[in-house]
């Protein structure tokens, strides 16, 4: 029978706290940046200029159809060789995750915008608004309501995706866990605690998403 | 003296390979009411949408008031801002209301004046209240559109269009989506507008209303104007067989 020794793990608690802080901070950064990238790419998808539509399509598919781990390694090791731009591990992680998440956000944002009845745009145009103003005043306020649940879902996935940055030695939760596991030879306890921390942080968020979805279903 | 407010010459439009408007010519006098009738797919809604450039024609000319655009080969198409400025001089009311669901009734009516004409909010609110009183909805100022009946929604939509003080009002089958008992209240508002001298173009299936309110009736089929003339003549004694056959579907409703 295996003897659990969580007391050993307790000695590394500050390592876990700092790892959790890095993971949360990283998530906030890549969610905010990803949303900005996604908004631009999503709107470009429905632009009247074919070049913008084509460029955003290329970006979205390139990042959606490549494994995140491959992208991380590429931005950290291959990008400097190709361009001479050397990113430190944290910057490479943020850039990669933001671009990766942005490609998924873009699809959600595009979908939200096109889900709004074209009659809404027509009514705004008929009043004499420019297309840009119609987007800001009429379409986006309605579309954002519909986008919120899928955007939050995508952000939860982004939170979990940050664990991959440990391969670049960014000191996130998983990386610190690996340090503790190697130190203590207590992989079972350490990784159980790590998994539990991810779970506990995300649980309230999923509850909020479920509520938002239910609220949205009621308000037509 | 009557002046010509709207002038359309040689207007053409197709959707893909399907021509929907072929060489449309039309003049509307200031203060007159024109009813466009005809079967579905005859191009009457497309013609209406060409008048405020929600649909961009492929040929011909459109003039409303002092604004005039040519869509013939080689003519420079109006830019985004020019289109917007032009549309602000026409008011359009849609079959499905298209009220903004995230705004209250009064905000719907204020939206155009505040964001297109840069009118101060207080002044726009004043104007909106007057217009809502005019269409009989003073008690609905602060509710959201989803709490209104179809007839009420359409009256808000009319107030929203009027708030821009348009030179012309375009009505696109505005009673077609309404329950029969709600049609009257919307037609009542339109009747009042016509009596005040608003220049109006009405796409409608309400033949009785067209005969009563319109000065001229235009019958369209397959993208061409088949017959046009004074309302009583076109509806009462149609000259063309196509017009007669179309109107025969309505005789029991006259």
Helix residue spans in chain A (DSSP H)? 6-10, 13-45, 50-64, 68-73, 79-83, 89-114, 118-127, 131-134, 140-161, 173-184, 187-218
In a domain, A188, yes or no: yes
Q: How far apart are CA B170 and CA B153, in angstroms?
A: 17
Residue range B39-93, pLDDT digits in tens? 988 999 999 999 999 999 999 999 998 888 999 888 888 889 999 999 999 999 9
Q: How far apart are CA A139 and CA B9, in angstroms?
A: 34
Q: How far is A154 from chain B (nearest CA, A)?
A: 25
pLDDT beyond 80 at B240: yes
In a domain, B124, yes or no: yes
Bridge partners, residue B7, by sequence? B27, B63
User: Which pLDDT score is estimated for B1?
Assistant: 46
List the single residue in B with minimal CA-CA distance to A136: B115
In a domain, B248, yes or no: no
In a domain, B46, yes or no: no
In a domain, A1, yes or no: no
In a domain, B160, yes or no: yes
In a domain, A102, yes or no: yes
- Based on the structure, what is the number of domains in chain A? 1
List the single residue in A with minimal CA-CA distance to B112: A127
Q: Which two tokens stand for residue B125?
A: 């609110």
ipTM beyond cut 0.95: no
In a domain, B74, yes or no: no
In a domain, B92, yes or no: no
User: Which pLDDT score is estimated for A205?
Assistant: 86
Count chain A–chain B contacts defined by CB atoms under 8 A.
68
- Average pLDDT taken over every residue of chain A: 92
Q: How far apart are CA A177 and CA A197, in angstroms?
A: 11
Q: For residue B121, what are the domain limits?
A: 101-165
In a domain, B204, yes or no: no
- Average pLDDT taken over every residue of chain B: 92
List the single residue in B with minimal CA-CA distance to A119: B98
Mutation target for A interface from B93, B112, B145, B171: give the one with most A CBs within 10 A.
Answer: B112
More confident residue, A2 or B116: B116
In a domain, A37, yes or no: yes
CATH number, domain containing residue A50:
1.10.3720.10
Residue range A194-219, pLDDT digits in tens? 999 999 999 998 898 888 878 877 66
- Element (DSSP H or E) covering residue B69: strand B67-70
List the single residue in B with minimal CA-CA distance to A117: B98
Q: How far is B80 from chain A (nearest CA, A)?
A: 7
Residue range B183-210, pLDDT digits in tens? 999 999 999 999 999 999 999 999 999 9
Would you say the pTM of this structure is higher than 0.80? yes
Question: Chain B 158-197, CB below 8 Å of chain A: which residues?
Answer: 160-161, 164
- Based on the structure, what is the number of domains in chain B? 1
Q: How far is A150 from chain B (nearest CA, A)?
A: 20
- DSSP letters along A66-83, please? S-HHHHHHIIIIIHHHHH
In a domain, A84, yes or no: yes
In a domain, A79, yes or no: yes
User: Which pLDDT score is estimated for A112?
Assistant: 94
Q: Is B156 on the interface with A (CB under 8 A)?
A: no
Residue range A90-149, pLDDT digits in tens? 999 999 999 999 999 999 999 999 999 999 999 999 999 999 999 999 999 999 888 988
Q: How far apart are CA B242 and CA B221, in angstroms?
A: 8
Bridge partners, residue B216, by sequence? B34, B230
Taking CA atoms, B42 is separated from A93, B6, B35, B39, B97, in Å, by 59, 21, 14, 6, 22
Share of chain A above pLDDT 90, in %: 75
Q: For residue A28, what are the domain limits?
A: 6-218
Reported as a pLDDT band with limits 50, 70 and 90, residue B253 is very low
In a domain, B109, yes or no: yes
């Amino acid at each position: 029978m295996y003897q659990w020794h969580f007391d050993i793990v307790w000695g590394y608690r500050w390592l876990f706290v700092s790892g959790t802080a890095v993971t949360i901070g990283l998530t906030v950064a890549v969610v905010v940046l990803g949303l900005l990238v996604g908004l631009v790419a999503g709107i470009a998808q429905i632009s009247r200029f074919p070049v913008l539509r084509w460029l955003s399509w290329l970006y979205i598919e390139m990042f959606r159809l490549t494994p995140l781990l491959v992208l991380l390694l590429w931005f950290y090791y291959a990008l400097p060789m190709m361009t001479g731009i050397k990113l430190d591990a944290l910057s490479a992680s943020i850039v990669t995750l933001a671009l990766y998440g942005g490609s998924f956000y873009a699809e959600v944002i595009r979908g939200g915008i096109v889900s709004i009845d074209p009659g809404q745009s027509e009514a705004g145009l008929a009043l004499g608004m420019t297309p840009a103003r119609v987007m800001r005043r009429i379409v986006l306020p309605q579309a954002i309501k519909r986008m919120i649940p899928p955007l939050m879902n995508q952000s939860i996935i982004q939170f979990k995706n940050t664990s991959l940055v440990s391969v670049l030695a960014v000191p996130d939760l998983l990386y610190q866990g690996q340090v503790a596991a190697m130190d203590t030879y207590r992989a079972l306890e350490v990784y159980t605690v790590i998994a539990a921390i991810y779970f506990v942080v995300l649980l309230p968020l999923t509850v909020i998403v479920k509520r938002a979805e239910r609220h949205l279903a009621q308000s037509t | 003296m009557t002046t010509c407010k709207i002038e359309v010459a040689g207007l053409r439009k197709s959707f893909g390979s399907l021509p929907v408007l072929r060489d449309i010519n039309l003049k509307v006098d200031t203060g007159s009411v024109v009813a466009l009738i005809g079967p579905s797919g005859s191009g009457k809604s497309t013609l209406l949408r060409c008048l405020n450039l929600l649909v961009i024609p492929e040929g011909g000319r459109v003039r409303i008031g002092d604004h005039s655009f040519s869509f013939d080969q080689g003519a420079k198409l109006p830019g985004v801002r020019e289109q917007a400025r032009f549309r602000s001089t026409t008011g359009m009311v849609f079959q499905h209301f298209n009220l903004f669901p995230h705004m209250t009734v009064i905000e719907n009516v204020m939206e155009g004046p505040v964001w297109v004409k840069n009118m101060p909010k207080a002044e726009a609110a004043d104007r909106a209240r007057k217009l809502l009183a005019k269409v009989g909805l003073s008690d609905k100022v602060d509710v959201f559109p989803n709490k209104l009946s179809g007839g009420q929604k359409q009256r808000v939509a009319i107030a929203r269009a009027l708030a821009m003080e348009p030179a012309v009002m375009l009505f696109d089958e505005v009673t077609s989506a309404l329950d029969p008992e709600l049609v009257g209240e919307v037609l009542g508002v339109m009747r009042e507008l016509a009596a005040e001298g608003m220049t109006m173009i009405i796409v409608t299936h309400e033949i009785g209303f067209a005969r009563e309110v319109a000065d001229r009736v235009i019958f369209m089929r397959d993208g061409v104007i088949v017959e046009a003339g004074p309302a009583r003549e076109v509806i009462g004694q149609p000259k063309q067989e196509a017009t007669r056959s179309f109107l025969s579907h309505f005789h029991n409703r006259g």
